[in-house]
């Protein structure tokens, strides 16, 4: 009797599960020799087999007879499989470019096809070199060894916010390769069925200015090959979502009364699987204009001291950035202009913060010790203040008789070694050899004050004497009166 373990091992030898490769989206770029999950881009199976067609690397409308390639089934177990499909150089190496879905049952239909693009084949994946050359910049090798693009070091680290970042007050364009509808869904505000112009979705500043700052979902809709025909649209007059149902060949509608933009988006996501159009979702963030100061470094260049100031902004590349030194200390407009230093925002029109670098010269003779301020602004709004102190180090016996100014805690001159200070206590004995009395004649005011005081004392003394005499007389008279009464009483 065979062991159950042996039976299981034998079964495992014949059943080899396919490990899923990375799934690609419709229109993705793939490279020779690499393995992908293509199950989501090959279309629907109409006859038991699925095909891809190559029309000379272009779209099906160019009149070139297709080269057909039958695809393996979508099976989880066994190979070959669409879940683990190799871009074989023997087949695809001489057929670079666009590969499209192909349906034999509809090969004789004269109607133009919808969006059938499966993927785009390229020869090699770009290679990134990590070495740094003598110029201090990193070289990127694109397409093998054919092209070298030299990119300078960035002045600040990348700061990603979303797929697309817009500041209110800026125009913003998203490049597209065909007629495209843009849909924007926020918490409160939305933009529906917004058509591209001249290969760009132009989000004008007057549209963005009335929208709530925050995070939005951007949906880009690429229609069928008919450049003016979309299978999903928004009817603003009726406030309905309308789409062409390919299964029933009828136009379906959903009344959007009372829909918030987020609910509208969920209804769109329910419709998209039944559409012949292609939809791509992106994250888009709208913010009020802002600028920041993230680093202030004191440097010495060209014979003067400067502040190397760097920061981020969410405004468009090319927007003017201004730094004003001690604006509150300037009285007249020409003084403010003389203390204003400008630069521009750098970066890309994408979802990363843009950045700037501006040098501000420091004239030590004009900068008093104490707190100073730099104000950063942009042409379309946003501001930030940065405070920094300037200290003055007094002259010492071990340095020339001069003072030295420095910013923050960056004291540029520290003596080595630091002088040692010793404290010595000396006790001295003092002998007094003669005492001298010096008579000082008092001033007239002092004499008058003394005379008045003496007179007051004399008057008070006289009053006391008078009172004593009167008291003695009164007592004597009373005693005499009593004595006389006593004698008359005895005689009588």
Q: What is the pLDDT of residues 301-331, one digit of tens each?
A: 767 888 899 999 999 999 999 999 999 988 8
Per-residue pLDDT tens over the stretch 206-241: 988 899 999 999 999 887 655 457 788 888 888 888
Strand 304-313, strand 354-362: pairing: antiparallel
Give dist(CA 199, CA 222) in Å, integer: 12
pTM more than 0.75: no
Helical H runs in 301-404? 333-338
Give dist(CA 36, CA 26) in Å, integer: 12
Indicate the DSSP class of residue 105: G
What architecture is the 295-407 domain classified under in CATH?
A: Sandwich (2.60)
Query: Which position has the higher pLDDT, 377 or 491?
Result: 377
From the list 155, 152, 126, the residue with the least C-alpha distance to 139 is 152
Whether 401 has a pLDDT exceeding 90, the answer reads no
Whether 392 has a pLDDT exceeding 90, the answer reads no
Per-residue pLDDT tens over the stretch 436-446: 555 556 667 77
Tokens of 460: 């008070």
- Provide mean pLDDT across the span 154-168: 89
Whether 16 has a pLDDT exceeding 70, the answer reads no
E strands in 314-440: 320-325, 340-344, 354-362, 370-378, 383-393, 404-407
Question: What residue spans in the chain does CATH classification 2.60.40 cover?
Answer: 295-407
CB 38 within 8 A of CB 74: no
């Amino acid at each position: 009797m065979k062991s159950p373990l042996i039976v299981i091992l034998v079964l495992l030898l014949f059943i080899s599960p396919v490990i899923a490769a990375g799934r690609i989206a419709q229109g993705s770029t793939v490279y020779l020799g690499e393995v992908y999950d293509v199950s989501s881009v090959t279309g629907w199976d109409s006859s038991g087999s699925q095909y891809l067609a190559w029309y000379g690397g272009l779209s099906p409308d160019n009149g070139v007879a297709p080269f057909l390639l039958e695809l393996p089934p979508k099976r989880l177990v066994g190979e070959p499989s669409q879940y683990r499909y190799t871009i074989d150089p023997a087949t695809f190496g001489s057929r670079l470019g666009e590969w499209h879905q192909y349906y034999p049952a509809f090969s004789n239909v004269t109607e133009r096809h919808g969006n059938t693009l499966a993927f785009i084949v390229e020869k090699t994946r770009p290679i990134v070199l990590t070495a740094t050359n003598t110029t201090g910049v990193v070289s990127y090798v694109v397409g093998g060894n054919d092209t070298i693009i030299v990119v300078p070091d960035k002045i600040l680290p990348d700061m990603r916010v979303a797929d697309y970042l817009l500041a209110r007050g800026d125009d913003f364009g998203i490049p597209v390769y065909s007629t495209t509808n843009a849909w924007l869904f926020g918490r409160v505000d939305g933009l529906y069925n917004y058509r591209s112009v001249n290969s760009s979705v132009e989000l004008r500043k007057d549209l963005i200015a009335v929208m709530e700052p925050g995070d939005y979902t951007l949906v880009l809709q690429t229609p069928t090959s008919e450049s003016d025909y979309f299978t999903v649209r928004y009817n603003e007059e009726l406030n309905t979502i309308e789409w062409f149902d390919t299964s029933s060949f009828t136009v379906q509608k959903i009344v959007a009364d009372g829909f918030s933009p987020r609910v509208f988006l969920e209804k769109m996501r329910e419709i998209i699987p039944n559409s012949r159009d292609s939809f791509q979702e992106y994250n888009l963030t709208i913010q009020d204009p802002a600028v920041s100061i993230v680093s202030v470094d004191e440097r010495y260049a060209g014979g003067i001291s400067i502040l190397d100031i760097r920061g981020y902004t969410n405004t468009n590349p090319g927007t003017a950035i201004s730094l004003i030194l001690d604006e509150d200390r300037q009285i007249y407009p020409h003084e403010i202009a003389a203390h204003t230093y400008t630069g521009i925002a750098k970066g890309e029109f994408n979802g990363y913060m843009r950045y700037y670098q501006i040098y501000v010269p420091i004239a030590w003779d004009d900068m008093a010790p104490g707190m100073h301020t730099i104000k950063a602004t942009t042409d379309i709004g946003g501001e930030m203040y940065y405070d920094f102190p300037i200290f003055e180090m007094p002259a010492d016996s071990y340095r020339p008789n001069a003072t030295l100014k420095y910013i923050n805690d960056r004291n540029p001159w520290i003596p080595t070694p630091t002088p040692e200070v010793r404290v010595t206590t000396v006790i001295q004995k003092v002998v007094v050899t003669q005492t001298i009395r010096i008579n000082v004649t008092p001033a007239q005011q002092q004499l008058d004050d003394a005379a008045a005081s003496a007179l007051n004392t004399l008057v008070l003394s006289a009053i006391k004497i008078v009172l004593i005499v009167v008291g003695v007389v009164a007592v004597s008279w009373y005693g005499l009166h009593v004595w006389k009464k006593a004698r008359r009483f005895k005689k009588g």
